[in-house]
Amino acid sequence: EAGVTQFPSHSVIEKGQTVTLRCDPISGHDNLYWYRRVMGKEIKFLLHFVKESKQDESGMPNNRFLAERTGGTYSTLKVQPAELEDSGVYFCASSPGAAYNEQFFGPGTRLTVL
Amino acid sequence: AQKVTQAQTEISVVEKEDVTLDCVYETRDTTYYLFWYKQPPSGELVFLIRRNSFDEQNEISGRYSWNFQKSTSSFNFTITASQVVDSAVYFCARPLRGTASKLTFGTGTRLQVTL
């Protein structure tokens, strides 16, 4: 069974540009999560999808971040325009059920904003 | 906020040594879950264990064991007879209060096992 995949693995962009990160969850997992780890800090929750609906987006830093999950399958996280403080590793995770279940994580996308 | 604290930033041990990674959590809940994840050099977070607050029995899985102490709000992780393949960053986590799935993580402990 394929795990959670994320694309790209690395992205280097200039401040002010737009970047779109993609996550493909494990097939059949209704729950999809985005997390972010800024350098030297802890991993922080960004948002949670149940199928195509946003269940909780309380961790999204600001309106420069837009997440979508088309048809309840893969998800994208767009940052527009990117700022220096957006640099970090963006993790995606999925789980088959929400309540306290193990979340399966992808390898992350390392975003560097110059 | 209910924090998860991993005070050890980095630990280095020689292969075959035992090592314990500390995790202290804050909670006002009577029911909660705790998790440990491993992040090997490949980058993904690998689930190791989930523990329910009702179950205070310590758990052993091969060379891995976990000591859950509600009295001290700690959920420590011990690797017995460490191996080079255990080198990774280890994270302790718990769901944020009032949520079932919004994980909050400690800052991680980097474990380096050398020959």
Q: Pick from A41, A103, A107: which is nearest to B103 by CB? A: A103
Picking from B50, B100, B104, the nearest residue to A98 by CB comes out as: B100
CB A42 to CB B108 under 8 A? yes
- Is the pLDDT at A97 greater than 80? The verdict is no
pLDDT at A99 over 70: no
Q: Kindly determine whether residue B103 and residue A45, on different chains, have CB atoms separated by under 8 Å.
A: yes
User: Mean pLDDT for chain B?
Assistant: 91
Q: Do A95 and B99 touch (CB under 8 A)?
A: no
Query: How much is the pLDDT for A1?
Result: 64
Q: Judge whether residue A40 has pLDDT over 80.
A: no
Any A CB within 8 A of B91 CB: yes
pLDDT at A114: 96
Instruction: Fill in the amino acid letter for A46.
Output: L
Interface residue of A46, A100, A109 to substitute, partner B, most B CBs within 10 Å: A100
Q: What pLDDT sits at residue B96? A: 81
Confidence of residue B13 (pLDDT cuts 50, 70, 90): very high
pLDDT band at B2 (very low <50, low <70, confident <90, very high): confident
Residues B84-104, mean pLDDT to the nearest whole number: 88
* B89 interfacial to chain A (CB closer than 8 Å): no
pLDDT, tens digit (0-9, with 9 covering 90-100), for B35-89? 999 999 988 899 999 988 888 788 888 999 999 998 999 999 999 999 999 999 9
Chain A residues whose CB is inside 8 A of the B101 CB are 31, 33, 48, 95, 98-101, 103
Q: What is the pLDDT of residue A113?
A: 97
Average pLDDT for B8-12? 96
Q: Which token pair is A19?
A: 């970047």
DSSP letter assigned to residue B96:
P
Using CB atoms within 10 Å of the CB of residue B84, give its burial: 0 to 12 exposed, 13 to 18 middle, 19+ buried: exposed
Q: Determine the Cα–Cα distance for residues B6 and B91; give it in Å rounded to an integer.
A: 8
Of residues A31, A42, A89, nearest to B101 (C-beta): A31
Instruction: Report d(CA A98, CA A32) in Å as an integer.
Output: 9
Note whether A36 contacts B: Cβ–Cβ < 8 A: no
Radius of gyration of chain A (CA): 13
